[in-house]
Structure formats: structure tokens, C-alpha cells
């Protein structure tokens, strides 16, 4: 729990040290020059029945929001290591520099710093704590506490996404995935429909079914509707790839990547986490989330290279590679969002291509878009969230790379431009609607963690930016 009241008697305190500024702790005036002040350095001092955690900020001039999240995450990890359940943190330094707008990142650093995937151990012990924030004007405490609650709901969406992506494939089959979303919908107040195979066949969602029929675990189309703005009929579609187990099919993944086949539904998890946060905070927006949940396995029913399959749009698709299955299911999901849910614009998000990592690494996700105004709205959202994205170019000659001689389109181009052509495959199904494609294959999973507010495994990539695309909520 994070609050701004009740912490006056807390004897576990965080103090931040930077440059050559004195540390405001009685009894250490003569020793503060010797303390390590480098970023995320830790010094513990016990004086007068108070336990002080002194965390280095490094150079205050070079300090930024990302580093602020890092030191706050570090403070909670230190709290956990020392078996504390209460911690007092004075954030006046951050409020002075960044204003109230930094509160989301304060909460994000604290909550994500405490995150751990507890898994399925019999004797697991979850870490429950109370973090008390001070250094905030007494004239504004109610408003600040409301902002903190709102931020906690957003970060809870990130944590939900992390938990889903970290779950093994046998613990998050398409059916279990859909049951989890139904439960979240009841809790947060958004409508959930689950479309089964019979309904998918009637809709001619053959691209999705082609992938899903490879497994004994039947595919499910998870549809989430959050209607928070009754003054508008406009709806934004969020479409997330939901492959809960991806072997690669007959184009089998190499052995060294097999451990990650459970996480190919990170895009779907991001959509779920974002809609959960939007609903919890009653944001004034209308959003439909569509997650095609399925498995891509090897069986007698699996599709193979050389096949030509149909899609909901009516376009035929030549299969070049069975491990390029994500774009197939997204093609039908995008078509569904536009034709059946009447989305006015769409964003798809997926762990779509490994080559995006070669281009952007593990801290920046790739973006394609056919609409500058829509992209600029998205850019404002990721500037607010602090996530990093990079927009790739689109040229007509790139589209030529996925033209097929025997079908309307093929599901893979050449050995180069793989991230761009994968996105352009999806673009061919959005008609002229404003569209953004997010490839989070590099940012959805980290091993080892890059920042203190990450833990090994899922990051919850995309949730906060998708949330901030719609605003901060109305009370």
C-alpha cells in the first residue's frame, strides 16, 4: 500500500544523497562526505532507533524520471531484503523538480520495484508493505491521494500483464486466458465476450482458425468492451496478439528460444492490462479490445509452408513461414474490430518479430503507422508514460515484398526489413482506417533486468502508453 498519511511514527526512512549536498540526518553531519552517492548506491545507518536507507542519486543535474523510478524501486528492494513492512519516503525533492506529474512514476517505481512473480510454489510468501510518502503540501493531500490511487490502478494493469506473460503455457491456455479476462471484467466493470470455434467459423475467421486448429486447446476470441464516454460514438480498437504457446509450428523455433514460447501473448496481455486500468479509473473513452488467443503447435491439423488460406476480410494468404503466425491471427482480429465492433481507428500490439531486437534492442519498441495525427497522439502518450518507441518508415516498394504470385498476399517477405513487412502485412487488412502497429518483441521480456523497476521475465510493456493514449480519467 502507498499512502501519504500514517507514516510519522515509521522508523524506517529513505534519504537521498546527491552531489556534495549535506544529508539531513542528525548524527551523520561529519561523515556524509565519505558516503557513496553514485546512482542506486546503498548505505544503511541505524541511529536513535531509526533505520536510514541512504540511496545515491548520482549527479542531480543528470537526474531524470527514469532514474527516479530506479532509486524508488531500489528503496523497496532494500526494504524487502531487510524484512521491513513499513518505509517512509520523502519525495519533496522530486515534487520540487517535476511537480505533481511525477506521482505516477513515483508509484510505478515503488510498485514495480516490489514486484515478484511468485509462481506456483507451495510455501510462497508474498511481500506486503506500507510505503508512506511525505514532502507533499498539506493543502493538497486529498488530491494527491486520489492521484496515487489512480496511479496504483495503472500499475496494477502492468502487473496483471506481467503475471500473464510469466505464466507457463499450461497455466494460461486460451481457455484459462479467457476465464481470467472474464474475472477482470467483472471486477473492473467492462464487458467481456468470448467467441468459440463455432462463432469464429460463422465469421469466416479462417486465418485465426488455421493457426488455432493446430492444438487440442481450442482458440478463443476475447472481446472486451469499455464504454466510458456516452457522449461519443467513436471507438478505438486495441488488438493484442494472444499466442499462449508458440512452438513455431513446422518452422520449428530453435532450441535456445524454446523457453520463451509461453510469452508470445504479451501484446494481448498489454491490451487486457490497459483496459483494466481504464475501467478502474473510469477514463472518458470508448475502447474495444480484441485478443485472438490460441496456440501454434505441431500436429496433423497444423498448417504448413506453401498452404494458401482464407481470411475474414476475403483476402487469400500464402504461407511462407508457420512461425509468422501472429500476423495471421491479427489480420482477422483487426478485421473483426473494424467490421463487427465498428472501431474508428486501431492499434495492434504484438511480440511479432525477433529482428526488431537487432534494430532497437530491449528498451525500445518499434512502431509503424499510416496516420500522422494518430501517431502524434500516441507519441504524446509514450512521452507521458516514459516508454520508448521508434517509428519505422513506410514506402510503397516495401509493400511489394509481401506480394504473392498465387494469393493476395504472403505472410513473410525477404530476409531484410522483417519488422516493417510484418507490420505492413497487418496494414493491408485495416483498409483506410487510422492505424498504429507496435512490435514489442524486444521490450516485453528482459533477462537479466535492465532497470531496477524490472524483474527477470515479463515487463508489462505497452500497458501504460496505451492507457495514456486516452487520458488520466475523470472522477
Strand residues in 171-254 grouped as ranges (E): 191-195, 220-227, 236-240, 242-246
Q: Is 19 annotated as a binding residue?
A: no
The answer to whether 327 is a known catalytic residue is yes
DSSP 103-125: HHHHHHHHHHHT----TT-TT--
Per DSSP, helices labelled H in 91-205 are 92-98, 103-113, 141-166, 174-188, 197-202
Sheet-wide strand order for 409-410: 308-310, 316-318, 409-410
Q: Is 241 annotated as a binding residue?
A: yes
The answer to whether 253 is a known catalytic residue is yes
Q: Is 358 annotated as a binding residue?
A: no
Per DSSP, helices labelled H in 416-461 are 418-427
- Could you tell me whether strands 242-246 and 445-446 are parallel, antiparallel, or unpaired per DSSP bridges? unpaired
Instruction: Give CA–CA dist 78/84, Å, rounded.
Output: 9
Q: Which phi and psi (to 5°) does residue 452 adopt?
A: -60, -30
| 71: nearest Cα among 43, 32, 48, 100 | 43
Instruction: Give CA–CA dist 174/221, Å, rounded.
Output: 9
| 11: nearest Cα among 45, 43, 35 | 45
Angle (nearest 5°) at CA 209 between 205 and 210: 115
| 456: nearest Cα among 299, 260, 286 | 260
Which is the catalytic residue, given 77, 327, 345, 410?
Answer: 327
Alpha-carbon torsion, ordered 444, 450, 456, 461, to 10 deg = -20
Q: Is 264 annotated as a binding residue?
A: yes
Q: Which phi and psi (to 5°) does residue 293 adopt?
A: -100, 125
Which is the catalytic residue, given 253, 282, 284, 315?
Answer: 253
Q: Is 332 annotated as a binding residue?
A: no
Alpha-carbon torsion, ordered 77, 80, 84, 88, to 10 deg = 20
Q: How far is CA 178 from CA 325, 333, 364, in A?
A: 20, 15, 29
Which residues are known binding-site members for Mn(2+)?
241, 246, 264, 323, 325
Which residues are known binding-site members?
241, 246, 264, 323, 325
Q: Just list the catalytic residues.
A: 253, 327
Amino acid at each position: 500500500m502507498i499512502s501519504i498519511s500514517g507514516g510519522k511514527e515509521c522508523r524506517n526512512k529513505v534519504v537521498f544523497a546527491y552531489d556534495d549536498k549535506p544529508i539531513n540526518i542528525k548524527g551523520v553531519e561529519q561523515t556524509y562526505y565519505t558516503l557513496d552517492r553514485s546512482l542506486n548506491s546503498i548505505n544503511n545507518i541505524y541511529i536513535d532507533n531509526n533505520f536510514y536507507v541512504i540511496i545515491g542519486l548520482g549527479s542531480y543535474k543528470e537526474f531524470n524520471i527514469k532514474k527516479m523510478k530506479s532509486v524508488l524501486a531500489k528503496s523497496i528492494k532494500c526494504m524487502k531484503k531487510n524484512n521491513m513492512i513499513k518505509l517512509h519516503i520523502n519525495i519533496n525533492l522530486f515534487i520540487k523538480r517535476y511537480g505533481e506529474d511525477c506521482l505516477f512514476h513515483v508509484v510505478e517505481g515503488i510498485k514495480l520495484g516490489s514486484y515478484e512473480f511468485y509462481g506456483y510454489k507451495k510455501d510462497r510468501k508474498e511481500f506486503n508493505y506500507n510505503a508512506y510518502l511525505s514532502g507533499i503540501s498539506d493543502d493538497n493531500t486529498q488530491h494527491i491521494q486520489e492521484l496515487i490511487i489512480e496511479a496504483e490502478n495503472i500499475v496494477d494493469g502492468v502487473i496483471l500483464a506481467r503475471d500473464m506473460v510469466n505464466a507457463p503455457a499450461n497455466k494460461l491456455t486460451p481457455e484459462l486466458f479467457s476465464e481470467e479476462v472474464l474475472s477482470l471484467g467483472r471486477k473492473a466493470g467492462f464487458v467481456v465476450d468470448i467467441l468459440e470455434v463455432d462463432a469464429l467459423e460463422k465469421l469466416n475467421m479462417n486465418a485465426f482458425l488455421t493457426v488455432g486448429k493446430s492444438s487440442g486447446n481450442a482458440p478463443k476470441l476475447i472481446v472486451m468492451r469499455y464504454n466510458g464516454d456516452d457522449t461519443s460514438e467513436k471507438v478505438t480498437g486495441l488488438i493484442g496478439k494472444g499466442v499462449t504457446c508458440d512452438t513455431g509450428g513446422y518452422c520449428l523455433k530453435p532450441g535456445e528460444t524454446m523457453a520463451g514460447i509461453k510469452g508470445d501473448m504479451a501484446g494481448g496481455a498489454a491490451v487486457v492490462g490497459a483496459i483494466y486500468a481504464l475501467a478502474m479509473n473510469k477514463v472518458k473513452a470508448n475502447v474495444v479490445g480484441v485478443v485472438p488467443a490460441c496456440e501454434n503447435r505441431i500436429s496433423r491439423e497444423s498448417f504448413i509452408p506453401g498452404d494458401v488460406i482464407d481470411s475474414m476480410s476475403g483476402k487469400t494468404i500464402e504461407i511462407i513461414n508457420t512461425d509468422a503466425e501472429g500476423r495471421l491471427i491479427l489480420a482477422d482480429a483487426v478485421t473483426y474490430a473494424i467490421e463487427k465492433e465498428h472501431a474508428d481507428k486501431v492499434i495492434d500490439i504484438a511480440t511479432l518479430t525477433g529482428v526488431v531486437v537487432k534494430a532497437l534492442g530491449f528498451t525500445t519498441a518499434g512502431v509503424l503507422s499510416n496516420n500522422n495525427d494518430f501517431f502524434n497522439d500516441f507519441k504524446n502518450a509514450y512521452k507521458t508514460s516514459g516508454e520508448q518507441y521508434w517509428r519505422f518508415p513506410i514506402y510503397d516498394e516495401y509493400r511489394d515484398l509481401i506480394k504473392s504470385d498465387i494469393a493476395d498476399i504472403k505472410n513473410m517477405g525477404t530476409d531484410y526489413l522483417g519488422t516493417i513487412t510484418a507490420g505492413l502485412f497487418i496494414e493491408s487488412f485495416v483498409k483506410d482506417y487510422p492505424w498504429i502497429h507496435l512490435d514489442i518483441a524486444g521490450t516485453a521480456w528482459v533477462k537479466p533486468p535492465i532497470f531496477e523497476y524490472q524483474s527477470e521475465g515479463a515487463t508489462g510493456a505497452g500497458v501504460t502508453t496505451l492507457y495514456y493514449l486516452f487520458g488520466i480519467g475523470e472522477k
